[in-house]
A = this chain, B = another copy of it.
Amino acid sequence: MMPTADTSAAAHLDRVRQDHPLVQCLTNPVTVNLVANALLACGATPAMVDIPEEAGLFARGAASAVLVNLGTPQHDQRTAMLEATEPGPDRPRWVLDPVAVGTLPVRTALAQQLLERGPTVIRGNASEIGALAGGAGGRGVDATIGTEEALPAAQDLAGRTGSVVAVSGATDLVTDGERVVRVEGGHPLMARITGAGCALGAIVAAFVAGDVDPLEATVAACCTYAVAGELAAERAARPGSYAVALIDALDAIDADILAARGRVS
């Protein structure tokens, strides 16, 4: 039986705040500033080392975890992504965020290549997870199907890759192919700012760093983020100020708040 969020998620958050995992991000310029500030607010340390001839060295020699986000995978960044995820004993845990995969050929081919390298976690919306598992993909970065509809695809993808798969939406689904955990929370304003999904991908990377159960750590990351999303909505009602409040909420959230408000089933 899964631990309830009031113990497990809170403990994971405390661990991140204590360990300050160094999260190497290979991500897109659209949302990279939010991603970096979200990591800092959680207690992690971002390092956007994403150029060829540095990315692999940094991943193996310094990073606690790696985020690979396919938002705008320019040529050199693709090379760096392959360097950073090169299989080997020193490779840290890593998260694949398959932004807008499906019909866009460059990122879709790269995503399939990266899948074969066994990401620790794959985090996407329902359309992206569906496309990765063999479906058709969505319209750009937005999901066109609900998370529950994507559950079979998520379980199939997890079973095939050995990855934890997190499907983000109004309710998040997290599965390792057998266990399925649902995380409630968040707020509709999260879909009205750019980068809310990207930031979660980075936070998942921070939480799975180290010797922890990847599914539990992913659930804890989703739960922390969902509660922060609710807290932010108590401070801000429109998207500009909501993006600011979200970073503040990630900084403010602690184990007690998470224990009181996290909703995992």
Contacts and interface: CB of A to CB of B under 8 A. Distances in A.
B244 A47 contact: no
A73 interface: yes
Given A22-B140, A244-B241, A100 B47 contact: yes
9 contacts: A30-B33, A30-B46, A33-B194, A37-B239, A49-B100, A51-B75, A74-B74, A238-B247, A238-B251
Contacts of A194: 33, 36-37, 40, 46
Interface stretch (A5-13, A103-111, A214-222): A103-111
Interface string A125-141: 00000000000000111
Interface of A: 22, 28-34, 36-37, 40-41, 45-54, 57-58, 61-62, 71-76, 100, 103-107, 139-142, 192-195, 238-241, 243-249, 251-252
A49 B101 CA distance: 11
Given A33-B195, A46-B194, A48-B72, A248 B244 contact: no
Nearest to A252: B238
Question: Oligomeric state, in number of copies?
Answer: 3
Contacts of A247: 238-240, 243
B193 A40 contact: yes
Given A34-B33, A49-B100, A193-B37, A248 B243 contact: no
